[in-house]
Chains A and B, each alone.
Chain A
Amino acid sequence: MSEGLVTQVKPATVPGGLLTASRVFWIGLFAVTWVLSTWSFALYKALDARWIIRFPKAYELPLEGWISDAINWLVDDLSFGLFTFRDVTRFISALIEAPYDFVRDLLIDGLMLGQGQQAVEILAPLSWIAIIAIMVGLALYARDRTLALLVGGCFSYLAVFGQWESAMITLSSVLIAVPLGVAGGLALGIAAYRSHKFESMLRPVLDLMQTVPVFAYLVPILVLFGFGPVAALIATVIYAMPPMVRISTVALQTVPEEVIEAGHMVGCRPRQLMWKVLIPSAMPMLMVGVNQVIMLTLNMVIIASMIGAGGLGYDVLAALRRLDIGGGIEAGLAIVVMAIALDRLSQAFSVSQVRAHPDPKLLFYRRYPRFSTVAAIVVATTLAGMFVPAIQEYPEKFTITTGTFWNSAMEWINVNFFDAIEAVKTLLFNVLLLPVKRFFAGIPWAWGIVAVALAAGRVGGWRLGTMAGVMTAFIAASGLWREAMTTIYLCSVSVLIASLLGIPLGIWAGQSARANSVIGVLIDTLQTLPSFVYLIPVVMLFRVGDFSAIVAVVLYALAPAVRFAAHGIRSIDGELIEAGKVSGCTERQILWRIKLPLAAPSLLLGLNQTIMLAISMLVITALVGTRDLGQEVYIALTKANTGQGIVAGLAVAFIAIISDRVVTALARSSQEKLGLK
């Protein structure tokens, strides 16, 4: 405590003036970079030294080739004696395929006996009414009628608007991937909780898994497991698991020491301690992890439609490729509806409730009326479905299609607002996009490495500086400098815009309860939507290109900026604000002199999250034709080129890791300055 006080006072008492050492450093670094960026091309011409702007081809790391060769070797040649590596992947496939097929049969295809043409249906799939009834029942159990109404409404929407089949394919993937992700995440989380060594080994792996863009690991999975739902499921589980691992570890670690001691004192064995004390006590937080897994799974299942997951994601992708506006929006809305239903439902389960213990003397259906009703509906509809097709499957002639409506709406917007949209686009392009793009594109790679290392070193010490320098050098040496600079340009513009929009919104929400309730709903919804969905309206309105990408990224990455700003403002000690008022501050002075400086650490953490989301979304915007690292990964995916995909993916991950460490270090030092930590 007293130590903290001393370090806190020191920087403040250094007489600063306008030119503190720190300012000189940052201004100098920027100035040099700007000068080199502006004249790098001229320099190259004058000195006839092409290496200045282009990393020499001869020295490029042949990493791509190595990785591709390694994967080919794995797939073609590796053998463990009795079985080959191929056999292992086939085995894993079979292990996942069996339950997946079963769930799919249950939800859409129907249970079949026999092969191909001779197959006979022995059990029809669950009727749409039964599935809606199950969902409503779950909602009633987890919370109340309002939630039941919402969930029932969402699933009815899927039936009425003709998205049922695709939605059920997506739901099957979710139903398989979520338990796998939760169980795997929990197991790893427990292992990390038990062993510090394992935790410190796991942490960098998780960091990498969370920062390597999703497309990048689609590539090796595609090569290893082939095109199809199994590959998609594996990619999904890998993608959705890391947060569960982290949350499980933290959840177990935050169980109060006394509760664990109480467990020891009643004589628990290690296993009893884990399953009877630790895990139940950590349950509310673990459920937050489950919710995360569900949302990430949904997000990824949709992206993974590119490698054969099918379902709603495939519909959107196909519509985007056909430029079928109506179809795209319809399927997109179905994703939104499903995401909201699953999110609210799983959140409701994470708030633990007090349940009355049913009187064991009552009859079963009296003790469990909801369960019994749902079971009755399922049985009745399955039987009735054999005779009445409308019960089995929602009748097609009652489906409503909104495709044409959306088509004409878009047309109307395009006809009436084309000029306005175009004008805004051009203006932003000239004022912001182009200068930033030129600045980053012009930076010579050699200086780029130095500048990143210097900046990171200044913020986080020489270790961080070295790490950042090495990572940047890797990017340059992979021959991806230009693409990386495009990524950084797109990312920084998006983050800038997202912060400019998000922070004021967050501050507003933090100060006014009314604004908060509106903004809160908006942000919740934005955060629930799978990243893919953002592409749809953007492409419809702005067509392909950097601008569309930026709009999509801003929308996707807005939420944390708002959230953290609101949180930062809200968590300021009320007495400080009262002290400000008593000293005669105006509202504006209170905001600028008290609230914002105190919320700075929170704002920085929000910035960090915004950057992370922006980078992950940027990769997906490769679909709308950016020319950055994401595009590189996407191309690798379409060509199933593992080496290219992984190298470009690592480059993205490194950018993310550097920025994460730097911003976190900034946040920490600002917290220390305020004596908050």
Chain B
Amino acid sequence: MERPVILDCRGVWKLYGQNPREFLTRHNGAPSDQDLADNRIIGAVRDASVKIRKGEIFVIMGLSGSGKSTLVRCLSRLVEPTAGEIRFEGSDLLSMSDEELIHVRRKKMGMVFQHFALLPHLTVLQNAAFPLDVQGVDRRTREEKARQMIEIVGLTGREDYYPRQLSGGQQQRVGIARSLVADPDLWFLDEPFSALDPLIRREMQDEFLRLQSMLHKTIVFITHDFEEAIRLADRIAVMKDGRIEQTATPEELVLRPATPYVEEFTRHIPRAKVMKLRSVMSPGVPEASYAGELAGSLTVDAAIEQIDGAAHPFKVVDEEGTAIGTIDARAAIDVMIGRISA
């Protein structure tokens, strides 16, 4: 059942300041807060370990300045980690030559940026085709591929616009098209929707989920917005001051926070938004009349209207469509109003 690990990052440090490497060895690879402060060194990422599995949406969540961007840049080697080990599809990312790295980035990685990072002198079409242009793909082929991507992100008709003629949401769609045009396996998104208005943000999140249901990429998604994290994530890593506090599913994070910081963070999150039917159902399916079937991976919040509106309970089914339990309106409402009997 466990899917293979695509990106394996162990004990990664990124320090800014004078002679960070030497500083790290001097403190046996584990300097304390005090050591950092005494040496005027910023610990942007501290001893971070994450395993990213094929096809999952892995969200890194934390307040501004907690080191999310630095971590994701270490994972793509835009930033050279001070210490640690990163393996991508089994090979050592940090020891790759420039040439190998260029190859990996061209074929296997895509990235979306917070402020879109579009090239101002290129049209939408040319921006979307840019990664292929860099690879030397001929014009016809790359523009055809770019047109497909533009269609997928819903910008057909705007191919000849320049970035400055588009709204923020549209610009980010171009950014997404560009990051996907070379068909990468691993997709990084650094706060892709943070620069957008709340309404647009919501729309883009739906769009993102729709895309992922089509494309099945392995995704590392950065956000500072916990609601966004729980909406999108299969698993979440919570960061604070450069350290990863806890890595878990949204549900676990809310139900079993590992540190006071995570608890503080998750306290105001309505449980119905994270609890899956799978974990609140009554196991076993006795003979009775049912209103229908619901996927166990749905959250209570997403299913409540259906459950509450029906005269009978629902069957809960797993990924293969086998019924594994039942849920009725009362159980669901208990979760909604926090009257949970665990």
Chain A residues close to B by CB (< 8 Å): 256, 258-259, 261-262, 264-269, 272, 276-277, 280-281, 283, 352, 354, 356-357
- Interface readout for B100-143 with A: 1 if CB under 8 Å, 0 if not? 00110111011101111111111100000011011100000000
Question: Is B165 close to A, CB under 8 A?
Answer: yes
**Complex A-B: 7 CB contacts under 8 Å:** A262-B178, A265-B78, A265-B109, A266-B106, A267-B134, A276-B133, A280-B122
What 3 A-B pairs have minimum CB-CB distances, sorted nearest first?
A267-B106, A266-B131, A258-B117
Chain B residues with Cβ below 8 Å from A277 are 119
- Measured in the bound complex, the distance between the Cα atoms of B121 and A352 in whole Å is 9
User: Chain A contacts of B188 at CB under 8 A?
Assistant: 265
Distance in angstroms between the alpha carbons of A277 and B123 in the assembled complex: 14
Complex contact B182–A261 (CB within 8 A): no
Residues of A within 8 A of B178 (CB): 262, 266
Instruction: Verify if B76 is at the interface (C-beta below 8 Å from A).
Output: yes
Residues of B close to A272: CB separation below 8 A: 134
List the B side residues contacting A267 at CB < 8 Å: 102-103, 105-107, 131, 134-135
B102 pairs with A281, CB closer than 8 A: no
A280 in contact with B134 given A264-B105, A267-B102, A267-B106 (CB within 8 Å): no
Selected from B73, B122, B133, B135, the residue in CB contact (under 8 A) with A261 is: B73
| Contacting residue for A258 out of B106, B113, B122, B162, CB 8 A | B113
B119:A261 contact, CB within 8 angstroms: no
Q: Is B160 interfacial (CB-CB < 8 Å)? A: yes
User: What residues on A are CB-neighbors of B165 within 8 Å?
Assistant: 354
Contact residue among B114, B116, B119, B160 (Cβ-Cβ distance under 8 Å from A281) = B119
- Interchain CB contact (< 8 A) of B105 among A256, A266, A276, A283: A266
A280 CB contacts on chain B under 8 angstroms: 119-122
B131 contacts A261, C-beta separation under 8 Å? no
Q: How close is A254's CB to chain B, nearest CB, in angstroms?
A: 13
Pick the residue among B106, B119, B123, B179 that contacts A259 (CB under 8 A). Answer: B119
B119 touches A258 (CB 8 A): no
Interchain CA distance A268-B114 in the complex, whole Å: 20
Contact of A265 among B110, B114, B118, B133 (CB under 8 A): B110
Provide the bound-state CA to CA distance between A281 and B109, in Å.
23
List A contacts of B105 (CB < 8 A). Answer: 264-267
- Cα-based distance from A102 to B111 in the complex (angstroms): 50
When C-beta atoms are compared, the residue in chain B nearest to A357 turns out to be B160
CB-CB under 8 A from A256, the residues of chain B are 115, 117
Q: In the complex, are the beta carbons of A264 and B78 less than 8 A apart?
A: yes
Contacts between the two chains (Cβ within 8 Å), count: 69
A262 touches B117 (CB 8 A): yes
CA distance A214 to B308 in the complex (A): 86
Contacts of B131 in A (CB 8 A): 266-267
With contact pairs A265-B105, A354-B162 given, residues A276 and B134 touching in the complex (Cβ less than 8 Å):
yes
Whether A283 lies near B113 (C-beta < 8 A) is no
Interface centre among A262, A281, A354 (most CB of B within 10 A): A262
- Within 8 Å by CB of B134, from A259, A261, A266, lies A266
Residues of A within 8 A of B160 (CB): 356-357
Q: A266-B106, A268-B134, A281-B119 are in contact. List 15 more A-B contacts (CB 8 A).
A: A262-B113, A262-B119, A264-B78, A264-B105, A266-B105, A266-B178, A267-B135, A272-B134, A276-B130, A280-B119, A280-B120, A280-B121, A352-B120, A357-B123, A357-B160
Most buried by B among A256, A258, A265: A265
A269 to chain B: closest residue by CB: B102
| A267–B116 CA distance with the chains assembled, in angstroms | 17
Shortest Cβ gap from B219 to chain A (Å): 15
Are A281 and B121 touching (Cβ within 8 A)? Answer: yes
A283 is contacted by which of B121, B134, B162, B182 (Cβ under 8 Å)? B121
Q: State in angstroms the CA–CA spacing of A276 and B135 once bound together.
A: 12
Shortest A366–chain B CB gap in Å is 19
Find chain A residues with CB under 8 A from B110 CB: 265
B106 proximity list for chain A (CB < 8 A):
266-267
- Least Cβ distance of A264 to chain B in Å? 6
Contacts of B130 in A (CB 8 A): 266, 276
Nearest neighbor of B188 in chain A, beta-carbon distance: A265
Task: Give Cα A172–Cα B135 distance, bound, in whole angstroms.
Answer: 41
Q: Which residues of B contact A356 (CB under 8 A)?
A: 160
Docked CA distance A656–B115 (Å): 42
Q: How far is the CA of A567 from the CA of B282 in the complex (A)?
A: 71
Question: Quick one: closest B residue to A283, CB to CB?
Answer: B121
Query: Could you tell me if B102 and A261 are in contact, using CB atoms closer than 8 angstroms?
Result: no
For the complex, give the distance between the alpha carbons of A40 and B279 in Å.
Answer: 98
Chain B residue at minimal CB-CB distance from A272? B134
Q: Contacts of B103 on A, CB cut-off 8 Å?
A: 267
Q: How far apart sit A261 and B73, CA to CA, in the bound complex (Å)? A: 9
Known contacts A265-B111, A266-B105, A272-B134; A259 and B121 CB within 8 A of each other: no
Which residue of B has the minimal Cβ distance to A261? B78
CA distance A259 to B116 in the complex (A): 8
**Residue ID in chain B nearest A352 by CB atoms:** B121
The minimal Cβ–Cβ distance linking B14 to chain A, given in whole angstroms, is 15
Complex Cα distance, B130 from A354, in Å, reads: 19
Q: Which B residues are CB-close (under 8 A) to A259?
A: 117-119
Return chain A residues, CB-CB under 8 Å to B109.
265
Q: When each residue 139-169 of chain B gets 1 if its CB lies under 8 Å from chain A and 0 otherwise, what string results?
A: 0000000000000000000001010010000
A268 contacts across to B, CB distance below 8 A: 102, 134
Taken together as a complex, chains A and B put the C-alpha atoms of A280 and B123 apart, in Å, by: 13
Collect the chain B residues with CB atoms within 8 Å of residue A283's CB: 121
Best-surrounded residue of A258, A266, A268, A269 (most CB of chain B within 10 A)? A266
Q: Which residue of A lies closest to B160 (CB)?
A: A357
Report the bound CA distance from A258 to B106 in whole Å: 17
**What is the chain A residue whose CB lies nearest that of B99?**
A269
Give, as a whole number of angstroms, the nearest-CB distance from B118 to chain A.
8
A281 neighbours in B (Cβ, 8 Å): 119-121
Q: Smallest distance from the beta carbon of B44 to chain A beta carbons, Å?
A: 14
Q: Nearest Cβ distance between residue A361 and chain B, in whole angstroms?
A: 15
Interface residues of B in 62-88 (CB under 8 A from A): 73, 76, 78
- Docked Cα-Cα span, A352 to B122, in Å, equals 12
Beta-carbon nearest neighbor of A356 in chain B: B160
Query: Which residues of chain A have C-beta atoms less than 8 A from B133's C-beta?
Result: 276
Docked pose: A352 CA to B102 CA in angstroms:
31
The answer to whether B121 touches A258 (Cβ under 8 A) is no
Distance from A96 Cβ to chain B, minimum over Cβ atoms (Å): 32
A357 contact set on B, CB distance < 8 A: 123, 160
Using Cβ atoms and an 8 Å threshold, which residues of chain A touch B119?
A: 259, 262, 277, 280-281
Q: How many angstroms between the C-alpha atoms of A428 and B64 in the bound complex?
A: 62
- Chain B, 160-195, contact with A by CB distance < 8 Å: what is the 0/1 string? 101001000000000000110010000010000000
Closest A residue to B115 using CB positions: A258
Q: Given A267-B102, A269-B102, A357-B160, verify A261-B113 contact (CB < 8 Å).
A: yes
Q: How far is the CB of A544 from chain B (nearest CB, A)?
A: 52
Of chain B, the residue at the smallest CB distance from A270 is B98
Q: Residues of B contacting A261 with CB < 8 Å?
A: 73, 78, 111, 113, 117
Determine the distance from Cα of A264 to Cα of B131 in the docked complex, in whole angstroms: 10
Q: How far is the CA of A262 from the CA of B119 in the complex (A)?
A: 9
**Residue of A at shortest CB range from B78?**
A261
**Cα separation A262 to B103 with both chains bound (whole Å):** 15
Chain B residues, CB < 8 A from A262: 111, 113, 117-119, 178
Q: B134: which A residues are within 8 A, CB to CB?
A: 266-268, 272, 276
Least CB distance, A37 to chain B, in whole angstroms: 49
Complexed CA–CA distance, A424 and B285 (Å): 109
Query: Which A residues touch B117, using CB under 8 A?
Result: 256, 258-259, 261-262
A272, B114: Cα distance in complex, Å = 23
Give complex CA distance A259, B107 in Å: 19
Residues of B within 8 A of A354 (CB): 162, 165
Q: Which residues of A contact B116 (CB under 8 A)?
A: 258
The chain A residue sitting closest to B122, CB to CB, is A280
Give min CB distance, A359 to chain B, whole Å: 11
Chain B: CB-nearest residue to A277: B119
Query: Which residues in window 182-212 of B have CB below 8 A to A?
Result: 182, 188
Q: Which of B73, B103, B134 has the most CB of A within 10 A?
A: B134
B73 contact set on A, CB distance < 8 A: 261
